[in-house]
Amino acid sequence: MTDKQYQVGEIAAVTGLTIRALQHYDNIGLLPASGRTESGKRYYSEADLVRLEQIIFYKLLDFTLDEIKQKLIDSPGRPELKELLKQQEYFLLRKIEKLHTAFVTIDASIKVIDAGRQPPFHVLLKFIKTLPGDDVFEWAPALLSEEQQAAMSGLFQDWEDAQKFYHKLKMLLIDAIALLHSGFSPADEQAQGLAKQWLDLLLSVSDGNLEQLEQFIEIGRVSEQKLLGNRQMMEAAYEFIDQALACHATQHKLDLQNPGAGRQK
């Protein structure tokens, strides 16, 4: 009894791939057809279907066709497969971070437009390049001392918690540079809203503990070691936020030496 044969049109209908895609997979040796009918049409076996399922799975994980062909289809061992998947995790994380940076930059520009100003596109472009690299979760541990890493581990419950914080931090830094270079004063309403968000963010991880808060701020600024030529722009963003915080503290009679005391319930 011979294995069932599937023509290329049947495979395309079942998988949602186009006939042209299947032909391309055959031509590059990723999924060679098992044979051809007397009329010259490609056909595939049950084993080919299993291989195709693997290809589709890895494509959904954003592996390239070349990576799938060279590294994945030839049944790597478990350790090798685990390492390949971990590498892909970092690759996808970097993509997520780039998309998030683009999203919050757009949002910052919309806020400036809503306030009747022109977004400083050229400054935002430069500033985006000064932000810690999009592989921040890969290189950050190397920048921190063992003591700082221990402190950080106590601030977040898990990796997702840390990522949420990093995203919020990035958003506020981009907002700060957009406001600064659009002519806003630290005392303006927009900057005061930024100051409140910044203070709430820090309090969310320090729970109002001044010593822990100061330690965390110091750890956060370690990222400036990655900024190289545009360090001044990051420092300008922090300075604008510091000035906005000072105005916020004055307006709301907050004691920044004991920030938890003025926290709204």
Q: Are residues 61 and 102 in the same domain?
A: no
Q: What is the pLDDT of residue 228?
A: 39
Question: Structural domain tally of the chain?
Answer: 2
Residue pLDDT, tens place only, 117-149: 999 998 888 877 766 555 555 555 555 566 656
DSSP structure string for 86-130: HHHHHHHHHHHHHHHHHHHHHHHHHHHHHTT----HHHHHHHHHH
How high is the mean pLDDT of the chain? 79
Q: What pTM was estimated for this model as a whole?
A: 0.69
Which CATH number is 29's domain given? 1.10.1660.10
**Does 234 map to a domain?**
yes
Q: Are residues 121 and 19 in the same domain?
A: no
Q: Are residues 134 and 252 in the same domain?
A: yes
**Does 249 map to a domain?**
yes
Q: Are residues 60 and 95 in the same domain?
A: no
Which of the residue ranges 33-37, 57-61, 84-88, 230-234 would you say has the lowest mean pLDDT? Answer: 230-234
**Does 49 map to a domain?**
yes
Three-class HEC string of 59-97: HHCCCCHHHHHHHHCCCCCHHHHHHHHHHHHHHHHHHHH
Cα distances from 148 to residues 131, 153, 164, 202, in angstroms, run: 20, 9, 19, 16
pLDDT of residue 199 exceeding 60, the answer is yes
pLDDT of residue 188 exceeding 90, the answer is yes
**Does 81 map to a domain?**
no
Q: Domain range for residue 54?
A: 6-72
How many angstroms separate the CA atoms of 11 and 21, rounded?
11
